[in-house]
Amino acid sequence: MQPPPVRLGAWSVVRLLGSLLILAAVAHQLTVTVSNALASATPHGSHLPTVVVNFVSFFTIESNLLAAAALALAGVWGLRAAGEGPEPRWLAVLLACASTYLIATGVVYNLLLRGVELPQGTTVVWANEVLHVVGPLLLLADVLLSPRRRRLAWRTLAPIVAFPIVWVAYTLVRGPRVTSPLTGNPWWYPYPFLDPHQPGGYATVALYVGAIAVSILAIGAGVVRVSRQRGIPGKASEKNAAARRAGSVGS
């Protein structure tokens, strides 16, 4: 027996609450990070602009902020939606990007970074779990369960992979130009697997980047595939399909 479909209004509330939870986690972690910077006894540790830019340079933070925005917009749309049509195309693409990034964040963190020792007093435990576990699971549930999702074309993978490429380029260009607030090293990278000072240098970094790129592409393809299996086609898609059927009959 099939479970009853999720109601759009109820799921919209879940989306809005999830958005607020993610924003609260980011805000709490940022507050602690800034407080520690202000209390630092070293010049590089107390340079607030660098500390804040470093904070928002983490892919985890960026993907969670995007997810919070996408969930909030989708929640508002769901509460105001009329009729039986799918979500707007722009919203569907935004949700696909946010879902891909946050699911990838959860996978990478729990496979590569879960055992990495974190500085005591700088990481808010509950916020860390929200950003790396709760948020990714919520976005996965959104892909699988949310009603009125739009059926996406495979070309949606292009915008999905665009941002991670830009982020990696930004990170590798900025890294050697920033002094680490924690160690004082004349470089700073948000994740140890992107640091070319590790054994193997840039070759090792390239291997990690390649593996993560494949993972993001695979997750994005999965998100698009699910939308094509359970999503609602837009009006343009329906017209194109009808035209193709009419053409095949006429020939």
Helices 59-80 and 135-145: crossing angle in degrees, nearest 10, is 40
Low-confidence ranges of the chain (pLDDT < 70): 1-5, 41, 116-121, 235-251
pLDDT of residue 184: 85
Residue 86's CB: how many other CB atoms inside 10 A? Answer: 22
Quick check: 98 and 74 in contact, CB under 8 A?
no
Helices (H), the chain: 8-39, 48-56, 59-80, 89-108, 125-129, 135-145, 157-174, 201-230, 235-250
pLDDT of residue 82: 75
CA distance 222 to 224: 5
pLDDT of residue 242: 43
Which residue from 188, 155, 145, 180 is spatially nearest to 18, judged by alpha carbons? 145
